[in-house]
Amino acid sequence: MIYVVATLTIKPGSLEALRAPAAACVAETLKEKGCNAYELFESVADPQKLVFVEKWETREDLTAHSKQPHLAAWREASNPHLVSRSIEIVHPEKVETF
């Protein structure tokens, strides 16, 4: 089992534009093989922070997720609104950061 925490910092005023594409991405991702959880949270402390929390059976399942059309659509929709992105992939034996 691996976990992913992806933190996005978005431009002020971008949240409403991202709601529908994010919801579509979450809905489709939850149908993917190996996806046990995929949730998006808005920070209470910082309105410019969004956090995806994910739980995957294997690293291979996560890699397959990265190639899905709905994730590409999310990236295309979100890129104009992003300031930064950080991703942590937590394995039992290590943590990958991007």
Q: What is the pLDDT of residues 17-27, one digit of tens each?
A: 999 999 999 99
Domain hosting 77: range is 2-97
pTM, whole model, 2 decimals? 0.92
pLDDT of 37-92, one tens digit each?
999 999 999 989 999 999 999 999 999 999 999 999 999 999 999 999 999 999 99
- Domain CATH code at residue 18: 3.30.70.100
C-beta separation of 91 from 59 below 8 A: yes
Distance CA 43, CA 59 (A): 27
Q: What are phi and psi of 28, to 5 degrees?
A: -70, -40
Please count the structural domains in the chain.
1
